[in-house]
Structures are given as structure tokens and as C-alpha cells.
């Protein structure tokens, strides 16, 4: 099943993101479930959130993946939304 994570950074948390980025990218690589992903950018061109498309067996697995992301563990996000998603185009 495919799940989308839509995450919004807490205001003023860019340094937290930068400090945790290497661990987050290592987690993405180690787990091997991210189909596509990348940061949202604010008006200044700074990273301000994340969009990740995950290939996992269940919503519970997506929730567990999100909870174990180093970004989440560092308290980066003010909001995390998880949605089941059906690819139609692309």
C-alpha cells in the first residue's frame, strides 16, 4: 500500500532540520520504503516541511515509520499527516 506523509516544521526549526538531516537521510536509505520524498520550501527558499511517499503494508507501519524518523524524534514537526494514496498518473 502507498502512504503519503505530509509534515510541517515548527516555526524557527530550520536548525533542528539541518542538525538532523544526515540521520533522517540515513533512515530513509536503511528502511528502503520511501518511493519519493523531499522538503517543502518557504518563500525564502528554506526547507520548511517534508513530503514522503512510502510503500508499506499498513497504516500502522506508516505510523511507526513516521514515529521513528529522526526528524520526528528531534521534535521538528508541528504537524504530521498520513494519508493512504492511490497513484493514477506518472
Q: What are the extents of the domains in the chain?
A: 2-84
CB-based contact 74:22 (threshold 8 Å): no
pLDDT tens digits along 12-39? 999 999 999 999 999 999 999 999 999 9
Contact 41, 48 (CB under 8 A): yes
Q: How confident is the model at residue 56 (pLDDT cuts 50, 70, 90)?
A: very high
pLDDT of residue 61: 98
Cα 35 to Cα 75: distance, rounded to the nearest angstrom: 24
What secondary structure letter does DSSP report for 10?
P
Cα distance from N-terminal residue to C-terminal residue, the chain: 17
Q: What is the mean pLDDT of the chain?
A: 97
Band (90; pLDDT cuts 50, 70, 90): confident
* Average pLDDT of the residues in 55-73: 98
Among the CATH numbers 3.40.50.300, 1.20.1250.20, 3.30.70.1060, 3.40.30.10, which is that of 2-84?
3.30.70.1060
- Cell 528502503 sits on residue: 32
Angle 1-7-63 from CA coordinates, rounded to 5°: 40
Reported pTM: 0.94
Amino acid at each position: 500500500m502507498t502512504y503519503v506523509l505530509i509534515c510541517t516544521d515548527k516555526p524557527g526549526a530550520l536548525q533542528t532540520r539541518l542538525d538532523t538531516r544526515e540521520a533522517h537521510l540515513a533512515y530513509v536509505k536503511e528502511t528502503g520504503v520511501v518511493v519519493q520524498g523531499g522538503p517543502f520550501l518557504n518563500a525564502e527558499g528554506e526547507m520548511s516541511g517534508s513530503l514522503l511517499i512510502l510503500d508499506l503494508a499498513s497504516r500502522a507501519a506508516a505510523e511507526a515509520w513516521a514515529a521513528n524518523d529522526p526528524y520526528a524524534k528531534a521534535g521538528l514537526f508541528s504537524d504530521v499527516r498520513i494519508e493512504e494514496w492511490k497513484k493514477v498518473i506518472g
